[in-house]
Every structure is written in C-alpha cells, then in structure tokens.
Amino acid sequence: MEEKWWFKDWFNSPYYHLLYANRDESEAAAFIAALIQLLKPNAGAKMLDVGCGRGRHSRQLAALGYEVTGIDVAPENIRFANQFATPHLHFEIHDMRQLYAARSMDFVFNFFTSFGYFNSLQDHKSALRMMATTLRKNGVLILDYVNDQVAIQQLVKKETKVIRQVQFTIERWFDETHLYKRIEVADPRKEVALSHTEKVARFTNQKLWSLLNQQGLTIKTIWGDYQLNPFVNNQSPRMIFHAMREN
C-alpha cells in the first residue's frame, strides 16, 4: 500500500517541501505570464489547477483576475494553500482520478509533472478523463510533463544535499515504464530517518498525444520548455501539451 500511494504521504511531508523549496518562483511566474499572453483568457475565466500543491500557480492565476480552483490529493498542501483563499481563489482536497464538476471550466492546468504517479494505465486514463470532462466546449487543457528522453540523458545517479541541517541522499534510476527517485532523509535534530521513492510513468509525446485524443481532446501544439519554444524530441526538457475540447 505504501508504494501504491507514495505521493499521498510524501507530498504531505514537511521534508518534501524543504527539499523542493528552491523551485524557481520567477520561472513559474514567467511561464504563467507567457501562457496567459498566448491563451488570452476572457476576463473572469474559470480555471482548475490539478495537482496544485501549495498553490503557487493557482495564486498567480488568481492575481491576474481569473476564477481559480486548486485541487490536490494531499491534505497538508490544501491546508497550507487555504491561507491564500479569496472569493476568486478556492482550494479542495481531490484525487485527480475522480470526476470533478463536469463541463465547468474554461481552462484546466496540470503543471510541473503533477501527473503520471500511478501504477496502471487505467488510472492515468482516469486522470486525463477527469481533466477533459471538466472542460466546457472549446475549453483548453495545458498538460506540462517531463520529457523522459532528456531526463535520462541528464540523469544524476546519486547526490547528497544538506538543507537546514537535514541530509537528503537522492538516487535516480529508470526502467522501461517509470523514472524513479529514492530520497533518504536524515534529520539529526529529530532523530528522523525516512525513505521515500518517487516514481513517474514514462510517456513519449506520441503516447500522451494518443491518450489525450482518446478523451476527445484536439492537440493544438506541444511546447518544449517554459519559454514556450517548439518541442524537439531529444532536446526539450518538457512536453507541454496545448489541447482543446471542441465539442
């Protein structure tokens, strides 16, 4: 059970947020700004941030004047995010494999590989179905996923980081179906020793294209990075799908 639901425990952990605290807020803000400039949402457009974490992208979207809901499976993330809630920004605990408010959103966003965590293809299809069915006619899905080919090329097999006296030993590997990252946590102040293994499914751009098509979505383009440059299979770090529900 622990392996199957690894993301629930790990995403709730304070050590997860300590390890990833240095994620580039300015890059995230620039990415949102570039997307909004290109997508040109109507004023007051309704948006869903799937796998919102602590809500950094949701907050940026709401600050631009949109009606934003962030959903995440980790209760601690939602508890933290709720301190930023406003009449135009809401957060809810929700598993992305479960249907959510059909035909209610103009835009659905899934940022920073907040997908691909599951063991079965059916679970992944269920998550994509939720995203697709939440969209209104002509609604847009932006799905931001790691390009495993480049991730493997640049793989750092083992490294150690010390952050605020907490030691993180990180090992990375892959097999035919997943990318893996084992994180061993040693906190001498609390005599804590933990181990969590992240894993994310390996999808080619053709496979994700097909899975999105199966949910009735039309692919408009694929960008390869947060500057929205065109996707190049063996060079781009990201696969950012721009898809539309046309019916």
> What is the model's pTM?
0.91
Over the stretch 159-176, which tens digit does the pLDDT of each residue have?
999 999 999 999 999 999
Write down the domain spans for the chain: 6-147+203-245, 151-199
Over the stretch 26-44, which tens digit does the pLDDT of each residue have?
777 889 999 999 999 999 9
Report angle CA 171, 116, 77 to the nearest 5 degrees: 80
- Residue 46 neighbours by CB distance under 10 Å: 19
Over the stretch 40-63, which tens digit does the pLDDT of each residue have?
999 999 999 999 999 989 999 999
Over the stretch 62-80, which tens digit does the pLDDT of each residue have?
999 999 999 999 898 999 9
- Segment 143-153 shows an average pLDDT of 96
pLDDT at 1 over 60: no
Residue 165: HSE in the Cβ half-sphere, 13 Å Cα cutoff = 6
Lowest mean pLDDT, pick from 1-5, 115-119, 140-144, 212-216: 1-5
pLDDT at 2 over 80: no
Q: Give Cβ neighbours of residue 125 (< 8 Å, ≥ 6 apart).
A: 211, 214, 215
pLDDT bracket for residue 185 (50, 70, 90): very high
Q: How far apart are CA 7 and CA 116, in angstroms?
A: 11
Average pLDDT, the chain: 92
> How large a percentage of the chain has pLDDT more than 90?
79
6-147+203-245 CATH choice from 3.40.50.150, 3.30.300.30, 1.10.357.10, 3.40.1190.10:
3.40.50.150
Q: How far apart are CA 245 and CA 243, in angstroms?
A: 7
Which has the closest alpha carbon to 41: 68, 62, 66, 70?
Answer: 66
Which has the closest alpha carbon to 143: 103, 203, 98?
Answer: 203
Over the stretch 114-143, which tens digit does the pLDDT of each residue have?
999 998 999 999 999 999 999 999 999 999
